A = this chain, B = another copy of it.
Amino acid sequence: MSQLTQTPISRYPVPELEALPDDIRARIVAVQEKSGFIPNVFLVLARRPDEFRAFFSYHDALMEKPGNLTKAEREMIVVATSSANQCHYCVIAHGAILRIRAKNPLIADQVAVNYRKADITDRQKAMLDFAMKVSTGAYDLGESDLAALKAHGFNDEDAWDIAAIAAFFAMSNRMANVTSMRPNTEFYGMGR
């Protein structure tokens, strides 16, 4: 694991793969085989197996489920809200995934800096307006916010999906910042 040799990937100790419970190691090995490397979030969270399992179950339930939001759109939500939360790991890692999902080398940087100026549709900007309000002011979210979504063709299930992704990364961003989770070098150039 060369990425561990110089700068630590977490403020916390990172377990050895061999020391992990079988199911967690299997999941990590599968990701490694698919991606060619192990995204650090798997290694950083693996030291708490129960939390690891819940975290990735939740992640997959939101990001891999069927639904009207494309996978690229889900990643836009992650990148926009993670940037507002200044989450190093999530912006870099999910920025890479967004570039790949959208087959667009420019989009992740655009969404991260200011989604209002990004080359995305008005419908996608409305989706991100809603996601950002969930992220920064959910206590004041009301009917007018839902109406703005619906004016762009989103339905109630889409609203739940957008909100749940923004909410999940509200959690994830905080854990990444607390642990000083470091993105893998591989992510920076992927999909460019």
Chain A residues at the B interface, C-beta cutoff of 8 Å: 7, 11-12, 48, 50-51, 53-55, 57-58, 60-62, 65, 83, 85-88, 91-92, 95, 105-106, 109-110, 112-114, 116-119, 134-135, 138-142, 156, 159-160, 163-164, 166-168, 170-175, 177-180, 182, 185, 188-189, 192
Tell me which residues across on chain B come within 8 A of A118, comparing CB atoms.
Answer: 88
Tell me which residues across on chain B come within 8 A of A110, comparing CB atoms.
Answer: 88, 92
Give bound CA distance, A139 to B173, whole Å.
Answer: 9
Please judge, given known A-B contacts A185-B106, A188-B105, whether A138 and B50 are in contact too, CB under 8 Å: no
Please judge, given known A-B contacts A83-B113, A188-B109, whether A138 and B173 are in contact too, CB under 8 Å: yes
Please judge, given known A-B contacts A109-B92, A139-B114, whether A53 and B48 are in contact too, CB under 8 Å: no
Please judge, given known A-B contacts A88-B110, A167-B178, A192-B189, whether A54 and B48 are in contact too, CB under 8 Å: no
Most buried by B among A85, A86, A87, A92: A86
Tell me which residues across on chain B come within 8 A of A168, comparing CB atoms.
Answer: 171
